[in-house]
Chains A and B, each alone.
Chain A
Amino acid sequence: MMLFENLRQAYNSLVLNKKRTILTMIGIIIGLSSVLLIVSVGDVISNIAEKYLINATGGNTIYFISGIDVDGDIDHKPERRYPFTEDEIYDFIDSTNGEILDISSNSSVNVSGNFMLDDKHKSNVTMQGVTSSYEITSKMRLTNGRFFNRNESRYGKPVIVISDIAAKALFGSSADAVGKVLDFQGQVSVPQYDPETYMPLDDVVIKVSGNVVVLGVYEYISDGKSADIRTDDMETAVYCPSQFINDIADLEESSSVNGFNIVQFVPADPTDTTTAQDMIRNFALEKYGSDEDYRFTVKDQMAMLSTITGAVSIITVAFIVISAISLLVGGIVLMNTMLVTVTERTKEIGIKKALGARNSTIRAQFLFESALICLISCAVGVFLGMFFGMIIESNLDRIISLVPNEGIQYFLLNSDIHVTPSLNAIIISTTFSLAVGLIFGLYPANKGAKMQPVEALRYE
């Protein structure tokens, strides 16, 4: 009942003083948009961080770092290395009764090239080295055949799993593909780094070729990241044991592998890794526990992720505080405007009080007005936020090309980045600006409410 009347009066008042209203709103819109922008950017960064970790390894894996406790004493430097051999690790995995599926090893390099059945049937592919657990962590669906098992993965057997698109191009159908042998030719680009500065150098290109057996066919699902249209000759990924790529490209020679200090384990249950973590701790202590100086880290990826997102959210909060200051200034402008409005309408307040308006009625009226100013500003601010977000999003390629690191550039281009404000950001900023409206509107509204009717009536 009063709500509608308050809305009508507030609207009338705002329209009557258009210029003043708009100037006040601009102040709040600027403050609000900056809060919105910061919250959105924070969201984008944590999303990227999350995706980066999940993309890089596929699921919640457990890091085991032998020799160093990353949360412990920084000064503690291991005198000696505490490596585990590959056989030790696989034997340990076999002893966990399926609690740990495999180690996770996405080979850092891919083979890009050609698969040939004969001269007429070819398919362009990217061959990715993975371990047997990839089938589960990537949630891929096999239509025919099977994925390679742990032993095939461990010993780098020449086996592959191809996409249904590649199967159709090479064999005509998915069912015909399983068990067939394919020739392939391709090359591996091995990234090189300056050993002292760790700056990237030119890649070393290694030519590879060989025969592989098709074990299974998976259903290709567009990831929606790129605007690719499913065509028969499109380039799709095929998967082989990462050890296989290491073998054919002779990568073992270039890296100093005589045992692992850092291992990524893939647990059977990614949501609860405590049992698996305990097993890894026991495994580590069994070998080196007798050494009092032995330290190690067992941490799952979610824990690492929360460390990163935690850091991001601290930065975000710091920026929100800074941009909130501009909202504060907007609030002060609002307070000033409302004080002028209340003074201008002293006579009206007096009349209303003579007609029986309570203090609370007058207070509600002015609070309503300041809240309305803020809500309209909020709507405009959110609209502007979306508008600018859209502009940024459509120019994302150009913005990303400014990033100095090529690896990060590549990653950013392939992630699904939305700069438009999230619902979360909209709710936070709306609440914030409404709070500003009520807090800064309260003093002027109270001033109006507490006017003595006689004095207010006398005001000209």
Chain B
Amino acid sequence: MTNEKKVVVDLQGIIKRFYIGQPNELQILNGMDIKVHEGEFVAIVGESGSGKSTLMNIIGALDRPTEGSYFFNGEDISKLSDKKLSNIRNKQIGFVFQNFNLIPRTSALKNVEIPMMYAGKGRKERTNRAKELLEIVGMAERYDHNPNELSGGQKQRVAIARAMANDPALILADEPTGALDTKTGRIVMDIFHKLHKSGKTIILITHSPELAKETERIITISDGSVVSDTGTKVQDAGGENNDAV
């Protein structure tokens, strides 16, 4: 019972279809059930075309499933409005993308501040927190640089700091080392390990089995279904809304 943890992500029978003109409909996800607990570091692995991007969009609340329920921190968010979904993306989920996706012509500091700005935090609080986060990822000296003045690894570190801005319940990383060389990729992965040790829940989406091995749990998907799951080391907390002991 000591390993009992709250469920952060709970996908139940998720189906996603795309309608590309009648009668053609494309079913990408064929009823997925995935549960991720608080503090877990999970890799979702799959070949390209396996549906992992679609899955990531649903987990990240960027898209809604066609069928099925998605409980995030105990709340069913599969049918929420645009406004409520953006609120969840803002406060509960931190994205790290393959191609960094920093806002151009905007300093590293401002980039990290953006999610806090959307959350309505004051200017002083934002700046202090952003500087703190940039220090954690080792970018303290370059906070006033614009993205085009940063290397790939540096951009990704700023992006991680940005993902952490509102202290989200989940960090969702989509091929975070995909555009980086081995050395800088290593630095980025080390940051994820550091975050995991501090108790963050991380889902890493990748096609690389080596990278997946660094995590503590690997979920393999193929053709829109889960084909293997190395299994969780923790058990569900008693109730969905019950705070973990």
Binding site for B on A (CB under 8 A): 1-2, 5, 12, 16, 347-348, 350-359, 361, 452-454, 457
Residue of A nearest to B104 (CB): A348
Query: In chain B between 58 and 92, which residues have their CB closer than 8 angstroms to a CB of chain A?
Result: 60, 62-63, 82-83, 86-87, 89-91
Q: Report if B224 contacts A (CB, 8 A).
A: no
- Report, nearest first, the 6 A-B pairs whose CB atoms are least far apart: A356-B90, A356-B118, A453-B62, A351-B101, A356-B89, A355-B115
Residues from chain B with a CB closer than 8 A to the CB of A352 are 103, 114
Cβ of B105 and Cβ of A1 under 8 Å apart? no
Shortest CB distance A448–B (Å)? 14
Cβ of B83 and Cβ of A356 under 8 Å apart? no
Residues from chain B with a CB closer than 8 A to the CB of A2 are 117
Residue of A2, A12, A351 with most partner-chain B CB within 10 A: A351
Residues from chain B with a CB closer than 8 A to the CB of A359 are 82-83, 86
Cβ of A457 and Cβ of B118 under 8 Å apart? no
Looking at chain A's contact residues, is the secondary structure mostly helix, strand, loop, or mixed?
Answer: helix
Cβ of B86 and Cβ of A356 under 8 Å apart? yes
Residues from chain B with a CB closer than 8 A to the CB of A454 are 57, 62-63
Residues from chain B with a CB closer than 8 A to the CB of A355 are 89-90, 95, 114-115, 118, 162
Residues from chain B with a CB closer than 8 A to the CB of A453 are 62-63, 89
Residues from chain A with a CB closer than 8 A to the CB of B62 are 353-354, 453-454, 457
Q: Report if B119 contacts A (CB, 8 A).
A: yes
State the CA gap A5–B109 with chains docked (Å): 13
Residues from chain B with a CB closer than 8 A to the CB of A350 are 101
**Pairs across A and B, CB under 8 Å, 24 listed:** A1-B123, A2-B117, A5-B117, A348-B103, A351-B102, A351-B103, A352-B114, A353-B62, A354-B62, A354-B101, A355-B95, A355-B114, A356-B86, A356-B115, A358-B82, A358-B86, A359-B82, A359-B83, A452-B63, A453-B62, A453-B63, A454-B57, A457-B97, A457-B101
Report the interface size for chain B: residues with CB under 8 A from the other chain: 29
Q: Report if B21 contacts A (CB, 8 A).
A: no
Residues from chain B with a CB closer than 8 A to the CB of A1 are 117, 120, 122-123
Contact with A along B96-127 (1 / 0, CB 8 A): 01000111111000000011011110110000
Residues from chain A with a CB closer than 8 A to the CB of B120 are 1
Cβ of A358 and Cβ of B118 under 8 Å apart? yes
State the CA gap A176–B137 with chains docked (Å): 98
Cβ of B87 and Cβ of A356 under 8 Å apart? yes
Residues from chain A with a CB closer than 8 A to the CB of B91 are 356
Shortest CB distance A21–B (Å)? 15
A1-B122, A348-B104 given; A354·B87 CB < 8 A: no
Residues from chain B with a CB closer than 8 A to the CB of A452 are 63
Residue of A nearest to B84 (CB): A358
Residue of B nearest to A355 (CB): B115
A355-B90, A356-B91, A454-B62 given; A12·B83 CB < 8 A: no
Residue of B86, B103, B119, B166 with most partner-chain A CB within 10 A: B86
Residues from chain B with a CB closer than 8 A to the CB of A354 are 60, 62, 89, 95, 101
Residue of B63, B101, B102, B166 with most partner-chain A CB within 10 A: B101
Shortest CB distance A187–B (Å)? 79
Residues from chain A with a CB closer than 8 A to the CB of B114 are 352, 355
State the CA gap A361–B82 with chains docked (Å): 12
Cβ of A353 and Cβ of B89 under 8 Å apart? yes
Shortest CB distance B82–A (Å)? 6
State the CA gap A12–B103 with chains docked (Å): 12
Residue of A nearest to B113 (CB): A5
State the CA gap A454–B102 with chains docked (Å): 16
State the CA gap A2–B162 with chains docked (Å): 18
Cβ of B118 and Cβ of A361 under 8 Å apart? yes
Cβ of B101 and Cβ of A357 under 8 Å apart? no
State the CA gap A263–B7 with chains docked (Å): 97
Residues from chain B with a CB closer than 8 A to the CB of A361 are 118
Residues from chain A with a CB closer than 8 A to the CB of B162 are 355
State the CA gap A454–B62 with chains docked (Å): 6
Shortest CB distance A363–B (Å)? 12
State the CA gap A355–B103 with chains docked (Å): 11
Residues from chain B with a CB closer than 8 A to the CB of A12 are 105-106
